[in-house]
Amino acid sequence: MAALKIMIVEDEIIVAKDIQRILKMLGYEAFDPFSNGKKALDAIEKLTPDLVLLDINLKSSEMDGIQVAEQIHQHYQIPFIFLTAFSDRNTLDRAKQTEPYGYIIKPFEEDDIRTAIEIAYYKYTKDLEMQNKGNRFAAALESLDVAVIITDSNEKVIFMNKMAETLTGCLKQEALGKDISVAMKNSPTETKSAFKSLAKTVVGEANGKEPDTQVQVSNGAGENKVAVNTFPILSINNKINGCAFVMSSSDKPAPVQETTDKSLFSFLENIYANNSFFVKKDSRFVRVNFQDILWIEALDNYVIIKTSSKEQYILHSSMKDIEAKLPPLNFARVHRSYILQLEKINALEENACIIDGNRIPIGKSYKENLMSRLNMF
């Protein structure tokens, strides 16, 4: 494996040269340090570093380290680690919003740099795996040979697969967070009304599906007669808080359609039926009910589960593994280091959620998805 290419952005020349020396000694390819944030940004595309070590307080630059980090986060898929001495609370809060992959505290030792880089790059590669594979919920629904749209309890779209985009002529990005009628923008008024009505009346048992409905769905280029089956989605409190629409050509052979319906319902049931998991505490396993979880926080190679009972559980696990065990309609990743339960949000600030008096940061790359899932006026 080729040595990692590392960019250093640090305006204390002696410190920067010392970091470069340590990096080379550790076997990394270290570029000559940059003392100016803007010049570092200008050089990123040419140098294509694998990782950036970035001083949080660049005094000899028109941009401080946090502003540089914001640009890296927004425009480049490159992990960065902050170099920092003591900083005030406001600076640290700003730094969190950029979602760094770690911090190196000054003064530092060789082992501090090695450990921070190894952990940061490991987390980064795992994040890439998550992005490339998608989560198991979306991946499973994308694999079905039918169109699927899922709405929440307010008839707002929270998921569309590719087949649904093709059938309706509406892209997922256009529909997410919007009323189900937006997804049916190219279809007749009667079809929009039918979907609204179905979403409102899916209040039956979760161990079956609503009766079939046939409607005309248009993608803007032509209309198709479509059979629509609806499935109620259970919350962790065993209440129906969403609806899954499964659409296929009305002339599709019945045995195939029945098989698809059963496989989809089996999948949905598997995702939502469980309302708890067991975690190890001391010498025994204890049950943690999903409805009691406030938020989950990453801490190095551990995660901390915070609950409404003030009990907390520390597990040796990754956020990816924990996220895969949670019901996706109830929980949301709002930051690289935080997953929270949507119903527990008490208030929203510009870049944070307030839960039980605690301020949970919202990462920029997660903010749009979070806002689309909240019932806001």
Whether residue 273 contacts residue 325, with contact meaning beta carbons closer than 8 Å, is answered with no
Question: Quick one: what percent of the chain has pLDDT higher than 70?
Answer: 84
Considering only residues 141 and 135, tell me which one the structure prediction assigns the higher pLDDT.
141
**287-322 per-position pLDDT tens digit:** 888 889 999 999 877 899 999 988 999 988 888 888
Q: What pLDDT score was predicted for residue 257? A: 46
Q: Return the minimum-mean-pLDDT range out of 167-176, 226-235, 352-361.
A: 226-235
Whether residue 327 contacts residue 335, with contact meaning beta carbons closer than 8 Å, is answered with no
Q: How far is CA 4 from CA 20, 133, 371, in A?
A: 13, 24, 36
| Strands 51-55 vs 5-9: parallel, antiparallel or unpaired | parallel
**Alpha-carbon span 222 to 244, nearest angstrom:** 24
pLDDT tops 60 at residue 273: no
**196-239 per-position pLDDT tens digit:** 888 887 755 334 444 457 899 999 998 889 888 887 776 655 66
Enumerate the domain spans of the chain.
5-133, 137-272, 276-373
The predicted model scores a pTM of: 0.48
Which of 288, 177, 198 lies closest to 296, judged by CA?
Answer: 288
CATH number of 137-272: 3.30.450.20
Q: Return the minimum-mean-pLDDT range out of 50-59, 111-120, 270-279.
A: 270-279
Domains 5-133 and 276-373 share a fold: no
CATH number of 276-373: 2.40.50.1020
The C-alpha torsion from 42 through 43 and 44 to 50, rounded to 10°, is -160
What mean pLDDT, rounded, does the chain reach?
Answer: 83
**Alpha-carbon span 9 to 54, nearest angstrom:** 5
Q: What pLDDT score was predicted for residue 368? A: 83
CATH for 5-133, among 3.30.750.24, 3.20.20.140, 3.40.50.300, 3.40.50.2300?
A: 3.40.50.2300
Which of 99, 25, 20 lies closest to 53, judged by CA?
Answer: 20
